Amino acid sequence: MTAQAAVLAPAAVQAINEAAHDADPISLAEVNERSALLARFDRSYLVPAETFARVVGRLTAPRRHGRPLRALAIDGRRAFRYHSVYYDTPGLRSFHDHRQGRRLRFKIRERVYEDTGERQYEIKLKGGRGDTVKHRRPLTGADTPLDATHQAFLAATLNRAYAINAPTTLHPSLSTDYLRATFVGDGERITCDAGLVCIDLRTQQAVHCDTDLVLVETKSTGHLTDADRVLHAHGLQPAVFTKYCGALAALHPSLPANRWRRAARRTFRAGAG
């Protein structure tokens, strides 16, 4: 980010860029080796930009007790643009299954890493321990999550994991766009997102994240990480929030979504746009 762009950037975007460039780098190959975490526990935090800078500064400090976290770096870049499209049934089965806390619940999405053009088809399941288990396949060319190959992958995954049938009808439901920096340690990872914009693909309504807010997720194979403890020490507790469910709650006040309502109001303070 240039000096002029840094001055103009929203506080949260500026905070994750500066934190990532101040930390020592780690390559993608080493991230996959040390912290792939396709099965993990996730905890979400809504962190003001100023607090975020202090938290990550402490976790990445060279003299930190233990090994400092390092920032993912690819071709000199430390913050990356993500675009995702979530798929759901016409009746929003995925949303309602998560709202009701059903054990056999899933999310389906296409994720695009915009800086490299890589595309992935992802199915996120809830494991028996309450952990998140991700199954993924690359998308190439004109592939879409709705083509026969990926519908077969979805059916096989849900049958193997849950012994249930896949939905017969899926539609693009919501898109998300944001900037992400990732910090990595042994067996743990922190993703830090800013500038989130969510669009209901059925109505084209949009909501925008508070420009001072960083959406932080800690990911590990166990429960509490050092990052969780540092966040707690700064007075922050996990929020009941996911981008998909929180955005739909903000976009559609008539939906029964009480569990996400508080975090959605905090995240999307600016309202619809």
Q: At what angle do helices 49-60 and 226-233 cross, to 10 degrees?
A: 140
Residue 230's Cβ-side half-sphere holds a number of Cα atoms within 13 Å equal to: 21
pTM of the model: 0.92
Q: Which pLDDT score, from 0 to 100, does residue 37 have?
A: 57
Q: Give the pLDDT of the chain (273 residues) as one tens digit per residue.
A: 544 444 457 999 999 999 999 999 999 888 877 656 566 788 999 999 999 999 999 999 987 777 899 999 999 999 999 999 999 999 999 999 999 999 999 999 999 999 999 999 999 998 777 778 899 999 999 999 999 999 999 999 999 999 999 999 999 999 999 999 999 988 788 999 999 999 999 999 999 999 999 999 998 887 788 899 999 999 999 999 999 999 999 999 999 999 999 999 999 974 443
Measured from the Cβ of residue 68, the count of other Cβ atoms closer than 10 Å reads 16
167 is a domain residue: yes
- Cβ neighbours of residue 150 under 8 Å, at least 6 residues apart? 121, 137, 139, 143, 144
Nearest to 122 by CA among 112, 132, 137: 137
Q: Which pLDDT score, from 0 to 100, does residue 131 have?
A: 79
Cβ contact 193:210 at 8 Å: no
Q: Are strands 206-208 and 171-185 parallel, antiparallel or unpaired?
A: unpaired
Alpha carbon distance, N-terminus to C-terminus of the chain = 26
273 is a domain residue: no
Residue 147's Cβ-side half-sphere holds a number of Cα atoms within 13 Å equal to: 10
151 is a domain residue: yes
159 is a domain residue: yes
Determine the Cα–Cα distance for residues 90 and 166; give it in Å rounded to an integer. 14
Which 3 state secondary structure label does DSSP give 254?
coil
272 is a domain residue: no
The 8-class DSSP code of residue 196 comes to: E
223 is a domain residue: yes
Determine the Cα–Cα distance for residues 14 and 273; give it in Å rounded to an integer. 22
- Expressed as residue numbers, the domain containing 227 is 3-267
Determine the Cα–Cα distance for residues 116 and 83; give it in Å rounded to an integer. 12
What CATH number corresponds to the domain at position 135? Answer: 2.40.320.10
Q: Which pLDDT score, from 0 to 100, does residue 38 have?
A: 62
**Tally of domains in the chain:** 1
